[in-house]
Amino acid sequence: MARLSYALLLGLVGAGIVHLAILFLLPSYSVRDAWTRLSAVAAPYDTVRFDREKLAGKVPIPADPFIEAAACRFDLSRGSLHVHGEGSVPFWSMSLYDHQGLNVFSISDRATPDGTLDFIVLTPAQMQHVRSRFAPDLGQSVFIETDVEEGIVLLRVFVPDETWEGAATVFLDGISCEPRPLD
C-alpha cells in the first residue's frame, strides 16, 4: 500500500511540474504564431515567399522539400481581396487562415477553370454588394465568401524535381495579393 501511495504521489508531483512548465512556456509560444511572425517581415497585402535560406526562423517554412510556399496577410475591412497569378506548375493549393491560424477554406488548381489562380475573397456583406453590381473584369474569378476579416492566404506549389524550380519561382514571384475596393 505504501508503494502505491508513493507512486500516486510521485505521479501527481510530476504532472504538476509538467503543467507549471507549460504555463510558463505559453507566453513565449504565443508570440511566435504564424500571424505575428509573418507581420514581422511583411506588411498586409505583401506577398512573402517562404525561402528556406532567407527566412529560416522568421516564418514557418514547409517541412516537405517538394513544396514551395508564399503567403500574404489581408484585412477585408478595407475591401475584398484579389489573389491572382500567372504561370503553370504541376500542382498548387491555396488556403485561407484566420488570425488565430485556423484553416477556413482550401482549394487547389483541380477545382478552378483551367487551373488558373484568380480568387476574390469577400465577407458576406461584400458578396451581396458585388452581386448587385458585378464587375465584368472578374468573370473568370472564383469568389470565396468568409466571415474572417483578417487572415492569411497561403499558396503552396509542388515542385517534383529541379526542372520545375524555375516555373515554381516564376509562379510564386508573380502572385499578386491586393485589396479591391468596393465600387
- Residue-range domain boundaries for the chain: 1-30, 34-180
Give CA–CA dist 60/37, Å, rounded. 8
Top-confidence residue, 55 or 168? 168
Give CA–CA dist 101/113, Å, rounded. 28
Q: How confident is the model at residue 106 (pLDDT cuts 50, 70, 90)?
A: very high
pLDDT of residue 54 exceeding 70? no
**Which are the contacts of 94, defined by CB distance < 8 A and separation ≥ 6?**
83, 106, 107, 108, 117, 119, 153, 154, 155, 156
The number of beta carbons lying within 10 Å of the beta carbon of residue 172 is 24
pLDDT of residue 32 exceeding 70? no
Contact yes or no for 73/45 (Cβ under 8 A): yes
Rounded mean pLDDT of the chain?
82
The residue type at 145: E
Size of the chain in residues: 183
Flag whether the pTM goes above 0.85: no
How much of the chain, in percent, has pLDDT values that exceed 90? 18
pLDDT at 113: 75
Give CA–CA dist 31/153, Å, rounded. 20
HSE-up of residue 5 (Cα within 13 Å, Cβ side):
2
pLDDT at 26: 65
pLDDT of residue 88 exceeding 90? no
**Residue 91, strand partner residues:** 158
User: Which of 22-26, 111-115, 124-128 is the most confident on average?
Assistant: 124-128
State how beta strands 142-145 and 117-122 pair: parallel
Top-confidence residue, 108 or 51? 108
| SS3 label, residue 43 | coil
Identify the CATH class of 34-180: mainly beta
